[in-house]
Amino acid sequence: MSKYSLSSFIDYHKYMQDRKLLILFEKYQQGKCSPAEKILIEQWLDSLTENTDESLEKEIAKEVALKSKMYQQIQARLSEETPARIIPFGFNKIARIAASVLLVMGCVFALSPMGYDTFDLKNETFQAFSVGKTKKVILEDGSIIWLKGNSLLTYPEHFVNATREVNLIGEALFEVAKDASHPFIVHSNGMNTKVLGTSFNIRPIGNHVEVVVFTGKVAVSLANGSKHILVLPSEKAICMPQEKEIKAATAENTASYLLNTEYNMSFEDARMSDVLEKISTKFDVDFELTNNTIGNCLITADFTDQSLDKTMTILCQIMNGSYVIEGNKVFLKAEGCR
């Protein structure tokens, strides 16, 4: 995917609906965003921080100044409908967040086939971006997606249909949560990838798209359904939409696809404290232990391509313990090393 300029973002966001933007901005300020909304804003704030330079700062400041008066006017109209505390809009941290959200909204509109509906708050469809670095996205079903390079993922906040469907532009490694009754489908670059629960990598190479499978079975087909093949572990499909063809091949050097991700969760004589730290990083959870001495225990296990629940189940079998997950907290009870 080509790198979009700041001026392009600004041009596009002028077409967005200010009311929706202000509602989303206020929700974020008040801590009322949904998990997907919060992830979207914070991922973009992170990426902007990583790529900010002096000229970008000036562009952001200029954009905030232009929008300041409009913001106050619309905010006043909103307050007439629903009483709310008006947040001062100056060149401070809040202004930086507002500018960042403006950029997010512009880019979403620029890249989205849904245009205005993308951020209709009644339309629970969200987007995540990676900007030069790998970004992790955790979907509500527990699936983990590692966006690579300059890539875009469009996904629903909630999966409500018979299938779990997402759209990808660029490259990503998928760890799909197992759910036989709800197949997972990735629409990307003129092809569809359908699985029940498995791990695989999708990468565009010129006009072709490569799907490398690590675990499970993956069905790859052209978007028009004219061609399809089944791909097994250590194999790959090469999809050629322009030629209307798909061919199978052996996947080589699969370890290279796992770089900069937390996909590999295999441990040999590892300290429990290190294992828990890696689990915490991968699944965005915090642990609370009833017995801190278990951190010194040594463990050999492979949790690769397992959900958080499955990982904890295996871990507790090894430790003769039990666990409870509440939100982003995992309460682990274990007596100690066996």
pLDDT tens digits, one per residue of 107-126: 444 444 433 334 444 436 88
Tell me, what's the pLDDT at 86?
Answer: 36
* Residue 193 pLDDT exceeds 90: yes
Beta-bridge mates of residue 69: none
Tell me, what's the pLDDT at 226?
Answer: 80
Smallest Cα–Cα separation from 46: which of 4, 111, 104?
104
| Position with higher pLDDT, 196 vs 100 | 196
pLDDT above 70 as % of the chain: 63
Average the pLDDT over each of 9-18, 169-178, 183-192, 315-324 and give the range with the smallest value. Answer: 9-18
Residue 51: other Cβ atoms inside 10 A: 12
pLDDT above 90 as % of the chain: 46
* Residue 159 pLDDT exceeds 70: yes
Split at pLDDT 50, 70, 90, the class of 225 is confident
* Residue 36 pLDDT exceeds 90: no
| Position with higher pLDDT, 216 vs 119 | 216
Tell me, what's the pLDDT at 281?
Answer: 95
Phi, psi of 191 (to 5 degrees): -145, 165
**Sign of the CA dihedral with 183 first, then 186, 192, and 193 last:** negative
- The helix (H) or strand (E) run that includes residue 16 is none
Tell me, what's the pLDDT at 109?
Answer: 43
* Residue 183 pLDDT exceeds 90: yes
* Residue 162 pLDDT exceeds 70: yes
Contacts of 278-286 spanning 24+ positions with Cβ under 8 A: 279/303, 279/308, 279/311, 282/144, 283/138, 283/144, 283/308, 283/311, 284/138, 284/328, 285/325, 285/328, 285/329, 285/330, 286/328, 286/329, 286/330
* Residue 161 pLDDT exceeds 50: yes
* Residue 175 pLDDT exceeds 60: yes
Q: Are strands 235-240 and 245-250 parallel, antiparallel or unpaired?
A: antiparallel
